[in-house]
């Protein structure tokens, strides 16, 4: 089954979307993130992806209380990423009721934390691979590492990670279409891992193209906020993928 997953990116307590991960190019789409989450649940979402952008930028969770409000506002699971870089951060996120935590920078830089988290929480730990030109970006996408995205994904698979959220930064928030070829390469590199694509979805056909790669879902942000993609119709369209 291919899931269409709405995104709620939090910045300063509001639901926003960034262009290519640039914190200076954000568009506000809601002052009440829990209400936004209820809207997406009503449209049929079975999972909501939440990112603490302030946490990603500052290196530690900054909006966990708001995340907890989102969790309590809806009846579907919440997946959370952004600034979770210690065992205490991971535990605090789960304490707020999130179903799955997405590690990014920490997964690349702290193998001990990743291993301990996977050992303790199993499939509730996902890893976000945010890539620019095939290389992994970290610290809220501000720094570009030397690590190859596909090689990193293969290493994660050997460490027991079973969900990867793969984002093409250049495409993110631009409504120019996803990087279908790169997503296909990621899926092929780690067939034992559930790959969720993110970045660039601009129309329903993009979702069908991503489903065709073998990805298990796609996170959609700007397109559903602007109305370029109707979430309920997209979920129905992809229900048989």
Query: What pLDDT digit, counting tens, does each position of 35-74 carry?
Result: 999 999 999 999 999 999 999 888 899 999 999 999 999 9
Residue reference for tokens 């605090």: 92
Q: What confidence score (pLDDT) does residue 145 get?
A: 83
Residues in the chain: 241
Provide the residue range defining the domain that includes 209: 3-238
pLDDT tens track for 154-168 = 999 999 999 999 998
**Paired sense of beta strands 78-81 and 100-103, if any:** parallel
Which of 221, 215, 223, 220 has its CA nearest to residue 241? 215
Q: Return the closest-CA partner of residue 129 out of 148, 114, 110.
A: 148
pTM greater than 0.85: yes
Contact residues for 37 (Cβ-Cβ < 8 A; gap 6+): 8, 48, 70, 73, 74, 78
Contact between residue 5 and residue 220 where contact means Cβ atoms under 8 Å apart: yes
Cα–Cα dist 130/102, whole Å: 12
pLDDT at 54: 92
The total of structural domains in the chain comes to 1
Give the pLDDT confidence score for residue 206 in this predicted structure.
Answer: 96
27 three-class SS: strand
Q: For position 149, which CATH number holds?
A: 3.20.20.70
Sign of CA dihedral 129, 132, 138, 141: negative
Give the pLDDT score at 24: 73
Active site residues per annotation? 9, 130
Among 61, 70, 112, residue whose Cα is nearest residue 91: 61
Q: Which residues of the chain have pLDDT under 50?
A: 173-174
Q: Which position has the token pair 């290493």?
A: 155
């Amino acid at each position: 089954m291919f899931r269409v997953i709405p995104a709620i990116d939090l910045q300063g307590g509001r639901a926003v979307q960034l262009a290519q991960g640039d914190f200076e190019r954000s568009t506000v789409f809601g002052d009440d993130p829990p209400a936004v989450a209820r809207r997406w649940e009503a449209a049929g979402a079975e999972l909501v992806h939440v990112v603490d952008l302030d946490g990603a930028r500052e290196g530690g969770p900054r909006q966990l209380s708001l995340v907890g409000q989102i969790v309590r506002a809806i009846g579907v699971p919440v997946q959370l990423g952004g600034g979770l870089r210690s065992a205490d951060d991971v535990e605090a996120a789960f304490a707020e009721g999130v179903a799955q935590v997405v590690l990014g920078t920490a997964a690349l830089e702290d193998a001990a934390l990743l291993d301990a988290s996977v050992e303790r929480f199993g499939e509730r730990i996902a890893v976000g691979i945010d890539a620019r030109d095939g290389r992994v970006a970290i610290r809220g996408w501000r720094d570009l590492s030397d690590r190859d995205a596909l090689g990193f994904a293969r290493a994660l698979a050997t460490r027991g990670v079973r969900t990867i959220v793969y984002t093409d930064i250049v495409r993110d928030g631009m409504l120019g279409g996803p990087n279908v070829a790169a997503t296909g390469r990621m899926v092929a590199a780690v067939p034992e891992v559930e790959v969720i694509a993110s970045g660039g979805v601009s129309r329903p056909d993009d979702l069908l193209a991503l489903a065709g790669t073998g990805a298990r879902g796609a996170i959609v942000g700007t397109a559903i906020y602007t109305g370029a993609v109707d979430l309920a119709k997209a979920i129905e369209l992809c229900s048989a993928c």
